[in-house]
């Protein structure tokens, strides 16, 4: 093609002839591309959130629980407990970074004449924190004393029943043999862990206390942590062999797969929304350039008379559209990328997660996952949409007969 630099120069200057029109057209691209970048970062962050929450709060890298144990919320039967024999203990000590047993059950919490079914986590005060980090835990009051009948109450339960540290309440449950049992306990502290499941309808009590309530020290859940989460699948096989038919063994991947897939469908919805927005942007660009094509008939005719080919005219308009795409995409990836980067360091607080899904295993702190490659891909997408949208007006401009066009008013 002749005069490529000239075409570029003309295209750049033509953009600034109708500044307001150009800015308005580019704005839709800015919004679309910014949302695409941010949406990708939020979705990727949500996937991370689900995985990290599962690993750091509920599952660990690998988890064993009694066979046929129901996974539905608020159903934690204690009629079957795990038996961990000596070879299993030896294997656990040798192959894991840390492991711990938990007792999950659903007692009724009675306070101030009100009864509330809660999810109880009986934990080993020494081992539990090594498998499930507590860096983000905030306790108003203090940690329970394992030798006293003290518990931590989650923020959600405390708010619902107006419980304060120091209050006394009753936990009533059935033992693992089915007999009724109840204990009066003191609230040592109100805990906020950022993990929605723990923060909603839960109480946390040291294992000696939960063992007294269930009349057994055997765990319902056994959670393992390794040096790398990639070791989980192999460990699952070995642990399943050691525990035999009494247990179902799962990895963090097994436990998060469905939710991650659900997030994946949200990603599809987000991409559809962005696609619609970019379609509108494409129409905007096509409309703007079509107006320009009609306004500049004589100019295009002159260029044709001076030797510019039809292909050259098409190139001129496509470059103009492409430049709108470049400007819009650059600003779009700038704001989308900046917010993604900011929320990657300073997480969003998802206050709605507690109200929405007490059983949604997610952290209320959502970190976005900033991916520089997504910026590039989004920018390329924006420019491509703009260039494709320019083809029709470009062909319209190129089709004008030069003999008529040079004398057009």
Partner 1 sequence: MAICELHGVTKTYGTGATRVDAIQVIDLIIEAGEFTVLSGPSGSGKTTLLNQVGCLDAPSEGELLLDGRSTRGLTSRQLSHLRGEKIGFIFQSFNLIPVLTATENVELALQLAGRSDGAHEAALAMLPQVGLGGLEHRRPNELSGGQQQRVAIARALVKKPLLVIADEPTANLDSANGEQVLSLMQELNESLGITFLFSTHDPRVLAHARRVIYLEDGRVVRDEVRQPPATRRRQSGTRPSGEVA
Q: By CB under 8 A, what part of segment 17-36 binds partner 1?
A: 17
Give one DSSP letter per residue of 377-400, joined into a string: HHHHHHHHHHHHHHHHHHHHHHHS
Residue among 166, 309, 346, 372 that touches partner 1 (CB under 8 A)? 309
Task: Give yes or no for residue 233 binding partner 1 (CB under 8 A).
Answer: no
Task: Give yes or no for residue 2 binding partner 1 (CB under 8 A).
Answer: yes
Q: In the bound complex, what is the minimum distance in angstroms from residue 322's beta carbon to partner 1?
A: 17
Looking at the Cβ atoms of 6 and 380, the one nearer to partner 1 is 6
Compose the 241-280 pattern: x for residues touching partner 1 by CB under 8 A, - for all others: ----------------------------------------
What number of other Cβ atoms are within 10 A of residue 216's Cβ? 16
Closest listed residue to residue 191, CA positions, set 225, 241, 220, 156? 156
As a whole number of angstroms, the distance between CA 81 and CA 99 comes to 17
Task: Give yes or no for residue 371 binding partner 1 (CB under 8 A).
Answer: no
Residue among 90, 227, 234, 305 that touches partner 1 (CB under 8 A)? 305
Task: Give yes or no for residue 291 binding partner 1 (CB under 8 A).
Answer: no
Task: Give yes or no for residue 302 binding partner 1 (CB under 8 A).
Answer: yes
Task: Give yes or no for residue 294 binding partner 1 (CB under 8 A).
Answer: no
Site stretch for partner 1 (CB under 8 A), options 8-16, 44-52, 63-71, 318-326: 8-16
Task: Give yes or no for residue 138 binding partner 1 (CB under 8 A).
Answer: no
Reported as type and span, the H/E element at residue 280 is helix 252-295
Task: Give yes or no for residue 406 binding partner 1 (CB under 8 A).
Answer: yes
- Pure H helices in 184-251: 196-199, 207-214, 232-243
Q: In the bound complex, what is the minimum distance in angstroms from residue 402's beta carbon to partner 1?
A: 5
Task: Give yes or no for residue 8 binding partner 1 (CB under 8 A).
Answer: no
Where b means 16+ CB within 10 Å and e means fewer, 297-322 reads: bebbbebbeeebeeebbbbbbbbbbb
As a whole number of angstroms, the distance between CA 150 and CA 144 comes to 5
Task: Give yes or no for residue 10 binding partner 1 (CB under 8 A).
Answer: yes
Phi/psi of residue 111, each to 5°?
Answer: -150, 125
As a whole number of angstroms, the distance between CA 409 and CA 406 comes to 9
Site stretch for partner 1 (CB under 8 A), options 1-9, 22-30, 111-119, 182-190: 1-9
223 touches 102 (CB < 8 A):
yes
Give contact residues for partner 1 (rule: CB under 8 A).
2-3, 5-6, 9-10, 13-14, 16-17, 298-299, 301-312, 401-403, 406-407
């Amino acid at each position: 093609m002749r005069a490529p630099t000239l075409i570029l120069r003309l295209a750049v200057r033509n953009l600034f002839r109708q500044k307001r029109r150009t800015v308005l057209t580019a704005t839709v691209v800015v919004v679309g591309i910014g949302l695409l970048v941010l949406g990708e970062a939020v979705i990727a962050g949500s996937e991370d959130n689900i995985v990290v929450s599962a690993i750091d709060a509920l599952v660990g890298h690998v988890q064993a629980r009694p066979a046929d144990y129901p996974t539905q919320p608020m159903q934690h039967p204690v009629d079957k407990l795990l038996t961990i024999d000596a070879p299993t203990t030896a294997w656990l000590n040798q192959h894991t970074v840390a492991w711990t047993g938990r007792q999950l059950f659903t007692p009724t919490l009675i306070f101030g004449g009100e009864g509330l079914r809660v999810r109880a986590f009986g934990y080993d005060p020494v081992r539990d924190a090594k498998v499930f980090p507590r860096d983000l835990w905030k306790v108003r009051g203090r940690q329970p004393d394992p030798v006293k009948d003290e518990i931590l109450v989650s923020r959600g339960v405390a708010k619902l029943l107006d419980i304060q540290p120091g209050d006394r309440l009753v936990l009533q449950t059935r033992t693992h043999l089915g007999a009724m049992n109840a204990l009066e306990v003191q609230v040592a502290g109100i805990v906020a862990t950022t993990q929605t499941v723990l923060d909603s309808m839960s109480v946390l009590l040291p294992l000696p206390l939960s063992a007294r309530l269930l009349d057994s020290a055997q765990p319902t859940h056994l959670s393992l942590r390794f040096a790398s989460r990639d070791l989980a699948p192999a460990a699952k096989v070995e642990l399943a062999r050691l525990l035999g038919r009494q247990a179902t063994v799962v990895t963090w991947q097994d436990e998060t797969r469905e939710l991650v897939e659900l997030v994946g469908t949200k990603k599809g919805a987000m991409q559809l929304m962005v696609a619609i927005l970019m379609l509108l942007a494409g129409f905007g660009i096509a409309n703007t350039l079509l107006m320009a094509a009609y306004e500049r008939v004589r100019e295009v005719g002159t260029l044709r008379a001076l030797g510019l080919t039809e292909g050259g005219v098409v190139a001129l308009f496509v470059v103009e559209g492409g430049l709108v795409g470049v400007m819009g995409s650059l600003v779009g990836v700038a704001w989308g990328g900046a917010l993604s980067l900011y929320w990657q360091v300073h997480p969003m607080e998802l206050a709605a997660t507690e109200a929405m899904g007490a059983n949604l295993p997610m952290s209320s702190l959502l970190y976005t996952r900033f991916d520089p490659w997504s910026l590039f891909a989004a920018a390329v997408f924006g420019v491509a949409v703009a260039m494709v949208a320019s083809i029709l007006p470009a062909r319209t401009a190129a089709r004008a007969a030069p003999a008529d066009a040079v004398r057009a008013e």
